[in-house]
Structure 1
Amino acid sequence: GIRVLLDGAWGFAASHRITPAEITRIVNLAVETAKGSRLTQQEPVKLVPVEAYQERYNTPIKINPFEVPIQEKAELLLKINDQFLSYQDKGIKKAYSFLSFAQEDKIFASTVGSIIEQTLYRSYPGMGCTAIANGDAKGRNYERPPLNIGYEHIDSADLLGNVERVAEEASEKVYAPEFTGDGKTTLILKPSNLFLTIHESVGHPTELDRVYGYEANFAGTSFATTDNLHQLQYAAPWINLVADRTQPQGRSTMPYDDEGVPAQRWYVVKDGILNDYLTDRETAFRLGRSSSNGSSFADSWSSTPMVRIPNLGLEPGKPGDSHTATLEEMIADTEEGILIDGIGSYSIDQQRRNFQFGGDAFWQVKNGKITGMLKNVTYHSMTTDFWNSIDALGGESELVQCGTNMCGKGEPMQIAQMTHACVPVRVRNIQVGRGS
């Protein structure tokens, strides 16, 4: 793929053929595209500067997943499925498991003088089962988070060791009472649920191209407009949300983005206040910055780079702080509420202001104890109301690197991946209702 900036207008073209003649053709096509773009452009594109870098990088791994025999991988998956199906007396009728691996080779070169080669390795295992009984069918799953890591992430003892728990919970879930409440309650969210709320209600609203309306016709805009920067009380004062593309094993971790900008760490929300955005070189210039924070990515050689969410996580509570608590302490200190694990259905409006999330498993909490499972629960909130209603968060020991390997954006659609490391939280007075 070749991107050109001609008289303040972008042009892009790509080809899978790598020959001198084809390179010439694609450069000329990108130039012609830029000329066409300029005809309707209202303001010329300007970029913040970037230095030239020459570097090679490989994701640090211990075991190359592509050197592990297929038979070994298949035997593990079949063993997991067989163990799930041994619980048919509990109503388990379906089982699945997967091992997902990727090797991504990227070469970036620019007229600034950069030549950057990066090889990324990604690993992601998971499994689940479905119980069919009681006139219903309910699933339960378990995944080790998608990370940039080698085959050492495939911990067979951990996967097999969770089969019984997952099967038992699927069986309990299918017999659990339907949630019939409709009002506000306290939620205790595990990292396996909270990461998606971070992604949708903090990550996407702070993509600066979205803020400026570049996606308005497809995915909407953002309530977190630039007049709110350093002003908006996005979250409670003890909440800090950090973008970090240097994070070890993070799904979006690499030394440089797809504009050759070095990886960085910065606060998006600091002490509860909207502190910064996710930028590329173009949007950083428009914001009046002197540099980009390196959030430009393309999902293949045939895609043009755009602003994407980096690794974006919730900082753990500070030791000794009155708002820091373990998951057990949150439960013990809750008179009535719901504990949620895993993700389910979700929706969010076009400005990322109003959302609804489900989960994979729900437990009723009463008088400081878990009293049993529920099913079909959703929670609803306005983004800033939700983040300002967190009154407790876990400490460093409960940090989990959850994340996604399937974030879509743009037309045509591009897929990106990122980690949302976070801790359990307790959120007060959140609207809940019955899901499906």
Structure 2
Amino acid sequence: MPHEVDQSFVALPLRALADAALARARALGVEHADFRLERVRSASWRLRDARPAGASDVTDLGYAVRVVHGGAWGFAAGVDLTMDAAAKVAAQAVAMAKLSAKVIAAAAAHGGGSADAGGRVELADEPVHADRTWVSSYEVNPFDVPDGEKTGLLAEWSARLLAAEGVSHVDASLMTVQENKFYADTAGTSTTQQRVRLHPTLTAVSVDPAGDFDSMRTLAPPVGRGWEYLTGDTWDWAGELAAIPGLLAEKMRAPSVRAGRYDLVVDPSNLWLTIHESVGHATELDRALGYEAAYAGTSFATFDRLGTLKYGSAHMNVTGDRTAEHGLATVGFDDEGVAGQSWDLVRDGVLVGYQLDRRIARLTGFDRSNGCAYADSPGHVPVQRMANVSLQPAPDGPSTEELIGSVYDGIYVVGDRSWSIDMQRYNFQFTGQRFFRIEHGKLAGQLRDVAYQATTTDFWGSMAAVGGPQTYVLGGAFNCGKAQPGQVAAVSHGCPSALFRDVSILNTTQEAGR
């Protein structure tokens, strides 16, 4: 059933504050101004061995004004919900733009160029979206559920795991977010939105008499859903919790992997993170142009390679998507008033697109933004952020079991764990939660100490098959970091199971010198 935007948010003086701020910005001669008021409520609960270990419930409420004046950005934020204060914040944003324009002009003069060449800000055109409302897809808002019911369910699940032989400790957590935004700009766009998301996690730890230990975490991804995710039939919580103790016990007894080259079948619960790091971040155009060089690097997928870079095999088709149902990066409109869209990033293995905001789109000659501007709080300026970046399944593709059946000597990789990638999103290695040896097309027990290593193009170039829609899962994370000052965003990545041939496998214990 569709939900309405929280009435306590709608009751705030959203339009009056926007009108006051935008009117002052217009009077000061801006080329563009936008106003964004946000209320973001984040709550979390943590349990250790079925007992409470911590909780938080924080609300961030405020507004921001961003302007383009004299070809330069200006930004200011405030928390005083009065018309005079909103107008003052707008004037501060214009003052910042004027100061920025002087810096740009001085830099251009020092370099012998023009002020425009020094970084004049222009925005790609966008249709006006007046008085639009959008609410994400969920059934039960987790903030409508009593806290005792949340911690009670986590405690019950923890006790279920603790009762199993070989489980020494259990950590459980639940993170929930309700994000409300009102946006208005001088072009006439005004949008009101509400997003709900949550992330439940349970981790079982086993410690043997000799002091050796390992852990196993649930595979359930964070989602743009409500409380029904924990109580309905969207995820088989009972089945996963019942399986973890036996899988963990087997993992504790498993032999260490022999380093070498293997065929891999990678489960969606692991592959989503490889997509995030090697495709998602690499196809952010601001990063490819060098704007993230000081923090988390640039990208090997540079703009001059658009349309020619062989990113992977012909089986590789990757989309950027701000519209996927239950996606963590799904919105009705981004933080520049751009409607959510879906588009190709990699088609038949070739780089064909990037993630864009309005400034980068105009700067690089694209017709319009694809809706990738986002700020994680009212005190932060919107930056180009990742869409739901997903590997598409083959329409009539094989099952995971069929992919495994096609492997003579290999490894089946399940669940994400640690990762490492260089500053150009090119050389990487990934580990996982569970690794199963494949012998003659059948699973032959678990392995430990496994990491796969490759370059981005070699790895995706080795992809020999992708599974069908029945193997597709929407994974993701709450904590994607970018920008300075740092911002955090939630993002989903869908993918099927996939087969990769002749991939380098490291033994992590040997690599660590132990």
TM-score (norm. length: structure 2) = 0.81
Runs of at least 4 residues of structure 1 off by over 4 A?
none
Could you say what secondary structure the match of 2:191 adopts? strand
Tell me if the contact between 2:184 and 2:190 (Cα under 8 Å) persists in the aligned partners: yes
Could you say what secondary structure the match of 2:91 adopts? helix
Could you say what secondary structure the match of 2:161 adopts? helix
Tell me if the contact between 1:124 and 1:153 (Cα under 8 Å) persists in the aligned partners: no
Provide the rounded CA distance (Å) in 1 between the counterparts of 2:99 and 2:290: 21
Quick check: 1:294 aligned with 2:371? yes
Q: Give aligned-pair identity as a percent.
A: 38
**1:410 Cα offset (Å):** 0.7
1:151 counterpart letter in structure 2:
W
Provide the rounded CA distance (Å) in 1 between the counterparts of 2:429 and 2:374: 28
- State the match for 1:3 in structure 2: 66
Q: Deviations over 1:54-89 (max 9, x none)?
A: 2011123222222222222222111111111112x3
> Of residues 33, 43, 51 in structure 1, which corresponds to 2:127?
51
- State the match for 2:454 in structure 1: 381
Provide the rounded CA distance (Å) in 1 between the counterparts of 2:283 and 2:505: 26
Q: Deviations over 1:112-169 (max 9, x none)?
A: 1111000111122221201111531111011422221221111377323322211111
Equivalence map 1:316-335=2 (5 Å): 316-319=393-396, 324-335=397-408
> Of residues 197, 207, 217 in structure 2, which corresponds to 1:141?
217
- State the match for 1:267 in structure 2: 344
Moved more, 274-283 or 121-130: 121-130
Quick check: 1:391 aligned with 2:464? yes
Could you say what secondary structure the match of 2:128 adopts? coil
Tell me if the contact between 2:466 and 2:499 (Cα under 8 Å) persists in the aligned partners: yes
1:327 counterpart letter in structure 2:
T
- State the match for 1:121 in structure 2: 196
Quick check: 1:34 aligned with 2:97? yes
> Of residues 159, 169, 174 in structure 2, which corresponds to 1:82?
159
Q: Deviations over 1:207-255 (max 9, x none)?
A: 0111111111122111111111111111111210011111111111111
Provide the rounded CA distance (Å) in 2 between the counterparts of 1:218 and 1:415: 13
RMSD between aligned residues = 1.4
Quick check: 1:193 aligned with 2:270? yes
Tell me if the contact between 1:316 and 1:395 (Cα under 8 Å) persists in the aligned partners: yes
- State the match for 2:52 in structure 1: none
Change in Cα spacing, 1:315 to 1:104, as seen in structure 2 (3 Å) is same
Provide the rounded CA distance (Å) in 2 between the counterparts of 1:209 and 1:25: 31
Larger Rg: 2
Could you say what secondary structure the match of 2:473 adopts? coil
Tell me if the contact between 1:325 and 1:394 (Cα under 8 Å) persists in the aligned partners: yes
1:111 counterpart letter in structure 2:
T
- State the match for 1:416 in structure 2: 489
- State the match for 2:173 in structure 1: 98
Q: Deviations over 1:20-46 (max 9, x none)?
A: 232233222212221222233312111
Could you say what secondary structure the match of 1:372 adopts? strand
Equivalence map 1:355-370=2 (5 Å): 355-370=428-443
Q: Could you list the runs of 5+ residues in structure 2 that have no partner in the other structure?
A: 1-63, 105-117, 510-514
- State the match for 1:405 in structure 2: 478
Provide the rounded CA distance (Å) in 2 between the counterparts of 1:274 and 1:120: 31
Tell me if the contact between 2:137 and 2:325 (Cα under 8 Å) persists in the aligned partners: no
1:171 counterpart letter in structure 2:
A
Could you say what secondary structure the match of 1:401 adopts? strand
1:152 counterpart letter in structure 2:
E
Tell me if the contact between 1:252 and 1:311 (Cα under 8 Å) persists in the aligned partners: yes
Tell me if the contact between 1:326 and 1:393 (Cα under 8 Å) persists in the aligned partners: no
Provide the rounded CA distance (Å) in 2 between the counterparts of 1:39 and 1:429: 55
Provide the rounded CA distance (Å) in 2 between the counterparts of 1:266 and 1:252: 14
Equivalence map 1:167-182=2 (5 Å): 167-179=245-257, 181-182=258-259
1:422 counterpart letter in structure 2:
C
Provide the rounded CA distance (Å) in 2 between the counterparts of 1:318 and 1:357: 28
Change in Cα spacing, 1:247 to 1:156, as seen in structure 2 (3 Å) is closer
1:62 counterpart letter in structure 2:
E
> Of residues 17, 25, 31 in structure 1, which corresponds to 2:80?
17
Provide the rounded CA distance (Å) in 1 between the counterparts of 2:504 and 2:474: 27
Moved more, 25-34 or 335-344: 25-34
> Of residues 207, 220, 223 in structure 2, which corresponds to 1:132?
207
Provide the rounded CA distance (Å) in 2 between the counterparts of 1:50 and 1:290: 9
Provide the rounded CA distance (Å) in 1 between the counterparts of 2:219 and 2:87: 46
- State the match for 2:356 in structure 1: 279
Could you say what secondary structure the match of 1:129 adopts? strand
2:199 counterpart letter in structure 1:
Y
Could you say what secondary structure the match of 1:206 adopts? coil
TM-score (norm. length: structure 1) = 0.95
Could you say what secondary structure the match of 2:281 adopts? helix
Q: Could you list the runs of 5+ residues in structure 1 that have no partner in the other structure?
A: none
Tell me if the contact between 1:242 and 1:266 (Cα under 8 Å) persists in the aligned partners: yes
Provide the rounded CA distance (Å) in 1 between the counterparts of 2:239 and 2:426: 40
Q: Deviations over 1:373-409 (max 9, x none)?
A: 1111111111011111000111011111111111000
Provide the rounded CA distance (Å) in 2 between the counterparts of 1:165 and 1:355: 31
Tell me if the contact between 1:127 and 1:143 (Cα under 8 Å) persists in the aligned partners: no
Provide the rounded CA distance (Å) in 2 between the counterparts of 1:433 and 1:61: 41
